[in-house]
Amino acid sequence: MIRRLVAVWFRPRRFALLLLLGAITSACGQAILSAPIGSTIVISINPTFIAANGDTAIVSVLVIEPAGTPVPDGTVVQFFTTLGTIQEQGKTNDGVARVNLISDARSGTATVTVFSGAATTTADVTIGATRPARILPALIDPRIDLSAGRSIGGFKVTVLDASGNPVSGVPVRFSVVDNPALDTILHGTDHFTDNNGDALGEVQTKRVTAGTIRLRADVLSGTALSVEFTLPVTQ
């Protein structure tokens, strides 16, 4: 009789306990796995220039734990953008989460913000009317005349789309192909094209004899556009 009463008393309470455990398990299953405190985030976007109206850039994020190892697979990274649309979140695989940024009708600079836990970082994507297709070099100074006491020469490149129209807001990197110890790009190596599609640069030489400066311009938009050209040095 006593055993029967105990069983009757315990049965509803056991059912309630099972319900409670199930609720806890369910809640734990829905919890978002985020990066632990002290983690770091590295972001890369390819390409960094996309056309308006439906062009796509891939946003890749590497999340590293304080110990220097990638976060566990399935760690959630959240994404926001000031222009275009982007997937709200992605999950890591081998520490990397990837989502797509898709442009809308607006042009400008899209600032992409990502975070997981307390770790956060940002990166910019230029959204323009068209995608660059050609890059054309030109010399502002036809030569550097050492006999006239000059050591600096100016040049430019023009970035065009497939229809031959100038593309503004495109990042271009200038570099010296040969003898960088003698010839130096001034005012920084990275420049943006203006409304005419032009990016301007200057190079300074330490040469004391005549020669030729070999220069290179690369469009930093993921379109693999580059051009090499020369600037004469006379004496």
* Residues 98-113 pLDDT 10s: 999 999 988 888 999 9
* Residue at 203 is within a domain: yes
What is the total count of domains within the chain? 2
Give residue 186's domain range. 134-234
pLDDT, tens digit, for every residue of 164-208?
Answer: 888 888 889 999 999 899 999 999 999 999 989 999 999 999 999
Indicate if 86 and 152 belong to the same structural domain: no
Mean pLDDT score of the chain: 87
Confidence of residue 132 (pLDDT cuts 50, 70, 90): confident
* Sheet with strand 85-86: strands edge to edge: 40-46, 56-64, 96-102, 85-86
pTM of the predicted model as reported, rounded to 2 decimal places: 0.56
Whether the pLDDT of residue 38 is over 70: the answer is yes
Radius of gyration of the chain (CA): 29
Rounded to whole angstroms, the Cα distance separating 54 from 68 reads: 37
Please state, for a pLDDT cut of 90, what percent of the chain lies above it: 68
Q: Is 4 a domain residue? A: no
The SS3 of residue 208 is coil
Task: Say if 7 falls within a structural domain.
Answer: no
Q: Is residue 53 located within the same domain as residue 101?
A: yes
- Is the pLDDT reported for residue 212 higher than 90? yes
Q: Evaluate whether residue 206 is within a structural domain.
A: yes
Q: Establish if 89 belongs to a structural domain.
A: yes
Contact at 8 Å (CB) between 41 and 62? yes
User: What are the structure tokens assigned to 120, written together?
Assistant: 């956060």
* Sheet-wide strand order for 119-128: 49-51, 119-128, 108-116, 76-81, 89-91
Strand partners, 161: none
Would residue 158 count as lying in a domain?
yes
The answer to whether position 9 is within a domain reads no
H/E element holding 9? helix 2-30
Contact call for residues 98 and 105 (beta carbons, < 8 A):
no
As a 3-state breakdown, the chain gives helix, strand, coil percent values, each rounded to 5, of 15, 50, 40
Lowest mean pLDDT among 4-18, 28-42, 146-160, 194-208: 4-18
Could you tell me if residue 32 is inside a domain? no
CA-CA distance, 155 to 142, in Å (whole number)? Answer: 9
